[in-house]
């Protein structure tokens, strides 16, 4: 297993973190294949090279058919990850991250910006 560390001192963009993986050598086809392990449809990945501020990078857009996406609650997403065919360690990591992000969003929405 290979490991990558992201030093996101100023945040990270949803289009550029998978793009960074592609720039580091992950084939877009591998990303697509891994995502098929989640029980989700109605989307596609589009990768393209972009230049901004003198820097070149890969941008990976998730193009969503919004009509194919029902509203989902926290428990729906947890079930999707838990019932996926992702490796158990990947499931656990995804659930841990999703739980942390969800908790942070709830605190922000409730007006509590503490960590």
For 67, residues 6+ apart whose C-beta sits below 8 A from its C-beta are: 42
Question: Exposed, middle or buried by CB within 10 Å (0-12, 13-18, 19+), for 6?
Answer: exposed
What local confidence, expressed as pLDDT, does residue 54 receive?
Answer: 92
Block residue for tokens 């990303």: 31
Q: Global pTM?
A: 0.75
Three-class DSSP category at 107: helix
pLDDT in the model for residue 1: 64
The token pair at 54 is 């003198």
Averages of pLDDT over runs of 10 residues in the chain (115 residues) are: 76 80 92 94 93 91 91 94 96 93 82 61
What string of DSSP letters covers 45-102? Answer: EEEEEEEETTEEEEEEEEEE-GGG-----HHHHHHHHHTS-S-HHHHHHHHHHHHHHH
């Amino acid at each position: 297993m290979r490991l990558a560390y992201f030093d996101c001192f100023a945040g990270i963009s949803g289009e550029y973190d998978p793009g960074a993986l592609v720039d580091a050598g992950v084939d877009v086809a591998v990303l697509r294949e891994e995502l098929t392990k989640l029980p989700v449809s109605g989307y596609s990945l589009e990768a393209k090279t972009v230049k901004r501020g003198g820097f070149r990078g890969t941008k990976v857009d998730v193009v969503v058919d919004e009509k194919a996406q029902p509203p989902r609650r926290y428990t729906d997403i947890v079930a999707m990850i838990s019932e996926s065919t992702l490796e158990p360690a990947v499931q656990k990591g995804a659930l841990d991250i999703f739980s942390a992000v969800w908790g942070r969003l709830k605190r922000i929405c409730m007006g509590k910006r503490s960590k």
